Structure 1
Amino acid sequence: MPLKERIAEIESLRGIAFAAVVLQHSIAHFSLVPEAGLEDGVLLAILLMTSKFAVPLFIFITGMVLFYNTGEQLKYGRFMQKRLTDVIAPYVVWSLVYFTLTPQGWAGISWQDLPELGLKLLTGKTTSHFWYIIMLIQFYLLFPLFLKAVRYVYNRYDSRGRLVAVLITGAVYLVLADQLRNIARVMERLNIPVLTDVFTTYADRNFLYFFFYFVLGAAAGLSVKSWNMWIHRLRWVYWTVFIIMGLRFTYLLMLEFQKPEGIQISFYTVSLIRPDMALFLIASIMVMYQLAGKLHNHLAVGWLGWIGSVSYGGYLMHMLMLRYSYIPDEYVYVAWGLNPTLRMILTWALALALSCVLTWCISRVSWLKWIVGTVPKANFRK
């Protein structure tokens, strides 16, 4: 079967999503520095809201690419073999890295550590950002079920029926997100081994609380032309939602900063799993897709495509690169008297660059490729 034409926007979207992930984690660090004042909190809140789409966008991209590229018959064994080598194996390697990493340096692994390590591997707890990998693996494991259900709707109904199906699925997802706490209370009372933990302790990595972004990507991947048409037709709708909801969440964050003991910058208000945030994130995905489609600067498209090509390995290692990127901040940026927001931007840029370059360098060595997954070639001259 001939290869399908690549979706041009996907290359840029991956780069945008990864840059946004690193930005969010940079913001989280600098929101806690003692020098950060209210003015920094406001700027950090705005930057956070404009990058909040990162993980939902990655899920959307995954759904779109999988449904776009999968033929009439899914060879599940080969499909999972590729995910094992390109996704799971690098995840295990970097989990070992983070598990042995302490504030004082590197530590070894003893036999007594193996049960703890095994649990953390299964739950993505070796470091804070690996929850996403565990959630992603669930979509891979359940992909045949998603494929069967989505294709049933696609083949049975016309374009209007498919749109209604997407809207109904979205409504179900919003209700699910709204009932997160109630579901957790019920599961705690039932106290079912493993299952209760899935909806309580590990609810933040339960695929059910993110499935609509995958389904939205599936709808886009099965009918790219229709998706692009709706991106054009609805541009005033999703831009309005994006701006209004973004301003609303920024305001809520600023209210959260006001504590009796003084200004304290925190971002607990903007959890990913809540219905109003879901509406903002869906609008954000559409905004980013439109912007990616309008990028006519060949150099910018090339660089974003390159960043996207190394995004998985970069995602795995970026928290470690951030740790080293804090060194110039501690010894240089503070001495220069830079404000926390500017220090954050410099740290973000350095961590992003280190993650991308190191991933690319590792991928050039054939016997090391499994550490960062497959890195496709990016065209800088588009």
Structure 2
Amino acid sequence: MSDLPRKERITEIETLRGIAFAAVVLQHSIAHYSLVPQAGLQDGIVLALLLMLAKFAVPLFIFITGMVLFYNTRDQLHYGQFMRKRVMDVILPYVVWSLIYFILAPRNWTEFGWQDIPDLALKLVTGKTASHFWYIIMLIQFYALFPLFLRGIRYVYHRYQAKGRMIALLVSGVLFLVLSDQLRNIAGWMEQLQIPVLTDAFTTYADRNFIYFFFYFVLGAAAGLSVQRWNEWIIRLRWVYWLVFITLGLRFIYLLMLEFQQPEGLQIRFYTVSLIRPDMILFLVASIMVMYQLAGKLHQHQVLHWLGWIGGMSYGGYLMHMLVLRYSYIPDEWLYVAWGWNPSVRMIVTWLVALGVSCMLTWLISRLKWGKWIVGVVPKHTQVSKTTVSTRK
């Protein structure tokens, strides 16, 4: 039992998790309703606006991961114990839900045989059993490489003063922008080299390669190593990141409006707002800072306490929410269409239903003796006013 004093709690963390998870479910709800036949241009505008307001979800989760890991890790990292906890709390529930999604796929009921085992194994390793599991694979890479990040970032932190640390952070940000701008060229080079595993990591599976998301983790690490200074910068730069957030957000909405207008007619699609592009990265970094400020305001004014509870349910909810969404579309087809609701209203209702059901199921499963193997570790008492920093996500 360590006799080191416990660190103060970062009260925004679970609120941020709640915001990020709600945004994930919203994005996937938008993706479904953008394809319904009844969706018109007015729905496209609403969906585009909501999508840009929710686009920060995955980068914010990565930021939270970096922040809590660097905040909680003391002078010495016990890597074996660290990874054992991740295997039990993150990887095992992921495997369980991967098997659930795989089994529930229509063709697997009748056609699966022993010859399909290698295909299943590949899908588990690459996160292909469900469309949203790419994030889990990318998250595991950060866990596996955490000692390298820890050594490098702590070296900069202890060697340089505040100005030097800021320069190092800016340099890593510029490198990140260059990498994202060269995404296609890097994929082309790797395709020519045909290096086993590595080529696939930069081509077929580039969307889950940690290298294309590392800056959000580094930004979280910077915040976790110096929370007070991070909070000062959140206050000091508020006009800058709000201006970037609004300006680039409106620009992306305009670009989406142009993308909707196709020669064959209206098509609501969102290829323009890929996560890996320089201007989107600037927007997402600004979004993270906006959400962090809002999380602090929500806590300060005791508003929306349920976001902290949603944050506590976020990992199990993330794993199951696509399945919950699948069944949430049933009342949409039976009732919402018959009642004459437009697609935007149907989407919002379905989003709230799926969000609530995912969180409730996670809470109920977590109460079971074996629940942590399915939904990970869930706080027994999650409150916004008393949130303990966790390394689970």
Give the TM-score normalised by the residue count of structure 1.
0.98
Superposition pairs of residues 180-329 of structure 1, within 5 angstroms: 180-295=183-298, 296-298=300-302, 300=304, 302-329=305-332
Q: Distance in 2 between matches of 1:106 and 1:19?
A: 32
Deviates more, 1:372-381 or 1:89-98: 372-381
8 Å CA contact 2:308, 2:384 repeated in 1: no
From the superposition, tell whether residues 186 and 233 of structure 1 become closer, same or farther in structure 2 (CA, over 3 Å): same
Instruction: Say if 2:16 is the partner of 1:13.
Output: yes
Change (3 A) 1:306 1:105: farther
Query: C-alpha offsets along residues 53-102 of structure 1, whole Å, 9 cap, x if unaligned?
Result: 00000000000000000000000000000000000000000000111112
The equivalent residue for 1:45 is 48
Query: Is this contact kept in 2: 1:135–1:206, CA < 8 A?
Result: yes
Q: 1:137 to 1:107 in 2, by over 3 A?
A: farther
CA change 1:46–1:107 in 2 (3 A) is farther
Q: Structure 1: how far apart are the matches of 2:194 and 2:98? A: 29
Farther-moved stretch of structure 1 (107-116 vs 265-274): 107-116
Q: Distance in 2 between matches of 1:119 and 1:105?
A: 15
Aligned residues: 381
Amino acid at match of 1:23: L
Q: 1:93 aligned to 2:113?
A: no
In structure 2, distance between residues paired with 1:105 and 1:330: 25
Q: Secondary structure at the match of 2:370?
A: helix
Match of 2:122 in 1: 119
Q: Which residue of 2 aligns with 1:372?
A: 375
Change in CA separation of 1:107 and 1:143 when aligned onto 2, cut-off 3 Å: farther
Gaps of 5+ in 2: 386-393
The answer to whether the Cα contact below 8 Å between 1:101 and 1:107 also exists between their aligned partners in 2 is: no
From the superposition, tell whether residues 82 and 109 of structure 1 become closer, same or farther in structure 2 (CA, over 3 Å).
farther
Change (3 A) 1:107 1:285: farther
Deviation at 1:107, TM superposition (A): 5.7
Conserved 8 A contact 1:100-1:108: no
Structure 1 counterpart of 2:341, from 328, 338, 343: 338
Percent identity, aligned pairs only, is 74
Structure 2 distance, partners of 1:380, 1:180, is: 41
The structure, 1 or 2, with the larger RCO (C-alpha pairs under 8 Å, 6+ apart) is 2
Paired residue secondary structure (1:298) = coil
Residue 224 of structure 1, CA deviation: 0.1
Match of 1:83 in 2: 86
The runs of 5 or more residues in structure 1 that have no matched partner are none
Is it true that 1:152 corresponds to 2:152 in the alignment?
no
Superposition deviation, residue 246 in structure 1: 0.1
Residue 369 of structure 1: CA displacement? 1.6
1:173: which partner in 2?
A: 176
Q: CA deviation at 1:370?
A: 1.1
**Matched residues in 1 for 2:107 and 2:199: separation?**
36
Displacement of 1:110: 2.8
Most deviating of 153-162 and 94-103? 94-103
Distance between the aligned counterparts of 1:341 and 1:103, measured in 2? 29
Counterpart residue type for residue 137 of structure 1: I
| 1:4 corresponds to | 7
3-state DSSP of counterpart to 2:269:
coil
CA distance in 2, matches of 1:109, 1:358: 29
User: d(CA) in 2 for partners of 1:106 and 1:328?
Assistant: 25
Equivalent residues of 1:98, 1:126 under 8 A apart: yes
**Preserved CA contact (<8 Å) 2:14 2:384:** no
Moved over 6 A (4+): none
Q: Which residue of 1 aligns with 2:388?
A: none
Mapped contact 1:64–1:217 kept (Cα < 8 A): yes
